[in-house]
Structure 1
Amino acid sequence: MSVRRLPALFLGLALLGLAACGPSADTSGLPTQFPLLEGDQDLWPTMSDAERQRAILFLTSGSTIQSSLLAD
């Protein structure tokens, strides 16, 4: 490989890395060990940390993510 091609290779790898960091729905922490309803995966990224913690409590008692968002 010629020395001139190395900067292009590094630039390509850098752009590939940046593309992987692009905007995406954050489904990290989605509790997939529980049965989820349709739309839960889309709802999860819109929830605050407090709402997510409450949802997990609801799921452990057999309820749903969506019902955890309803007022008591």
Structure 2
Amino acid sequence: KADAEYLKLRVLSGKSFDKEFVSYMVKDHKQDIAEFSQMAGTHHGPVGELADRQLPTLRKHLRLAESLMNP
């Protein structure tokens, strides 16, 4: 998945690159949040705790990426 995105990004530049990169970051962070939320809810112990601790940071990064979509 990341390889395909890299191939797409490497031929772009300027505003086209920026738009595609930010779009990918938003999509990827949403997917990460879904996966970490699932881990936090289904795993007990260190794995679940780690996932739960990372969620606020992932959500913050998502908000930052979303803010770049409409500067």
Instruction: Answer yes or no: same fold by TM over 0.5.
Output: no
- If asked which structure has higher relative contact order (CA below 8 Å, sep 6+), I would say 2
- TM bin, normalised by shorter chain, reads 0.3 to 0.5
Q: Larger C-alpha radius of gyration, 1 or 2?
A: 1
Q: TM-score, length-normalised on structure 1? A: 0.32
| Greater helix proportion | 2
